[in-house]
Amino acid sequence: MTDTWLNQVFCEDALAGLARIPDGSIDLILTDPPYNLGKDYGNASDQQTVDDYLLWTEQWIDAALPKLKPNGSLYIFLTWRFSPEIFVMLKKRMTMMNEIIWDRRVPSMGGSVRSYSSVHDTIGFFVRRKDYYFDLDAVRIPYDAETKKARSRSIFIGAKWLEVGYNPKDLWSVSRLHREHPERADHPTQKPLEIIERMVKASCPPDGVVLDLFMGSGTTAIAAKRTGRNYVGFELNPEYCAIINERLAMPEIPAPPPKKPKKPRNSVTS
């Protein structure tokens, strides 16, 4: 087999590197591009004019989409600043299934004084066809003992939803990674494994392939490895590439902290 591109993160520009990947070979594009908020990633990718940023976004979307299998999916991290424009771009090419709000659980201290403090990221979930891969059972959240006990009346006995857990819904409250968090690497916008692993488990079959054009600290590659999927991707900054290699070489990649099952409000079906 000559899949020299599989399970590799190439330290190069994603637009150039995509040529390495055969068309129709990717199950899931899961990507977290620069948001164009002026961050310093050791390159100018987050500091473009609005026109250049949107043009560049359209270019990489058009270069990446042919790599997807027909039943593949795409998740894209954004913020409110450019999600309206970029969602429209994607809606012309795919079907939008969800807007997921990632509540970063920012503590209520200080913040903006002339507007409301922004405490969430906006994630778009897109598919190509009706028969897209989606394994809800892999990402259900178990009910806590209290809820199960409260639903112990005979009408609930044998209720599948009570046993298998509930749909994570489209509002995900997961703390951002603090400096002292065991998962934390030296990257300014590293995403929590808990979020990325949920997307991989739901939208990439076991042994499938996940593509991330903007790997950063390599969270997508780590999540794919930990869940038995393959990965491929790119990162422009050589210092971040070194972090990715270190993280991938760790024998034990720290697991996300266990999540306490929450008691869902008014939820009876998935």
Ligand X SMILES: C[S@@+](CC[C@H](N)C(=O)[O-])C[C@H]1O[C@@H](n2cnc3c(N)ncnc32)[C@H](O)[C@@H]1O
- Interface ranges with ligand X (CB under 6 A): 13-15, 32, 34, 41, 43, 45, 187, 189-191, 214, 216-217, 219, 234-237, 240
Shortest distance, CB of residue 97 to ligand X, whole angstroms? 21
Q: Do residues 256 and 183 touch, judged by C-beta distance below 8 A?
A: yes
CB of 217 vs ligand X, minimal distance in Å = 3
Q: If residue 231 lies in a helix (H) or strand (E), which one and from where to where?
A: strand 230-234
Return left, alpha or beta for 98; rule: phi > 0 is left, psi -120 to 50 is alpha, else beta: beta
Is the Cβ of residue 36 or residue 166 nearer to ligand X in the bound state? 36
CB of 179 to ligand X, least distance (A): 15
Q: Whose CB is nearest to ligand X?
A: 216
H-type alpha helices, the chain? 14-17, 50-64, 83-91, 145-150, 160-164, 193-203, 219-226, 238-249
CB of 208 to ligand X, least distance (A): 19
Residue 187 beta carbon to ligand X: minimum distance, rounded to whole angstroms: 5
With CA atoms as reference, report the closest residue to 99 among 84, 89, 119.
84
Please name the residue that has the structure tokens 């961050």.
39
Per-residue 3-state assignment (H helix, E strand, C coil) for 55-66:
HHHHHHHHHHHH
DSSP 80-104: TTTHHHHHHHHHTTSEEEEEEEEE-
Cβ-based nearer residue to ligand X, 1 or 250: 250
Q: Which is nearer to ligand X, 166 or 231 (CB)?
A: 231
Nearer to ligand X, 9 or 90 (CB): 9
Residue 66 or 238: which CB sits closer to ligand X? 238
